[in-house]
Amino acid sequence: CTVGRKYRPRVRGGVLLFLIHHSLCYKIVDVSQIFPIDSPVEVQAISVIIENNPTTLVNVYVPPASSCPPGFSFDIAPLLTFLDDGDSLILGDFNAHHESWFSSLHDVRGDSISSSLDSSHFVPLNSDSPTRLPSSGPSSSPDISLASAHLSPSFSWSTSTTLNSDHLPILITILDSVPHIRPQRSFVNFRLAKWSDFRDECESLF
């Protein structure tokens, strides 16, 4: 496997990580301009080929509000706008809660993300299953999986309890080939026009 790492520059420990199978063609996507350089948000992205179609995979970590600078408010809209023209999956721990992705909790950050999703072409893949099971307190879903809307029916989403972690591993599987819908185009071939009939029709109008 090939490993892509992005370390958090402001705190000890923690890393964003892509493990990429050696048979998969990919390239790094520069997403450094999306969030300010002093933002606590960590993000990295790659582009892979799925069924001959470029698809961007984005890995995101947003610290909980208690670990962010005073006055910080996360806005996902710039990321959604950046990815607006292509097929994408946005995956990560957003530390945000909203019923849109079946979280039992609710917070302001969740409201903000849900509102931005309403005006985008991205939809949550989460099913009614928590992504975090803390040792104490209620289960919740701070981890969100988003997909371009027309791609979402092609994926299944589930969690697993095989690792000793309060955050559950999320498994996203391609169910079938991603359909490629070509836009219909109309053409006019004047060589096939029946000009004599057209002329007779015009003369009959006068």
Write down the pLDDT at residue 195. 65
Sheet holding 53-61, edge to edge: 26-29, 42-50, 53-61, 87-93, 143-148, 122-124
Residue 186's pLDDT band (cuts 50, 70, 90): low
Cα–Cα dist 32/61, whole Å: 14
Residue 182's pLDDT band (cuts 50, 70, 90): very low
Helix (H, G, I), strand (E, B) or coil at 15: strand
Handedness of CA 31, 28, 142, 173 (dihedral sign): positive
The tens digit of pLDDT for each residue in 100-151 reads 999 999 999 999 999 999 999 999 999 999 999 988 888 999 999 999 998 9
Range 82-97 average pLDDT: 94
Task: Indicate if the pLDDT at residue 183 is higher than 50.
Answer: no
Kindly report the length of the chain: 206
Task: Indicate if the pLDDT at residue 190 is higher than 60.
Answer: no
The tens digit of pLDDT for each residue in 30-80 reads 998 999 888 999 999 999 987 678 999 999 999 999 999 999 999 999 999
Task: Indicate if the pLDDT at residue 193 is higher than 70.
Answer: no
Do residues 35 and 78 touch, judged by C-beta distance below 8 A?
yes
Write down the pLDDT at residue 81. 95
CA angle at 43 for the pair 78 and 73, rounded to the nearest 5°: 55
Range 87-111 average pLDDT: 96
The whole-model pTM stands at 0.79
Cα–Cα dist 96/93, whole Å: 8
Cα end-to-end span (Å), the chain = 77
- 47 CB-near residues (< 8 Å, 6+ apart): 26, 27, 29, 54, 55, 56, 57
Tokens describing residue 188: 């006019």
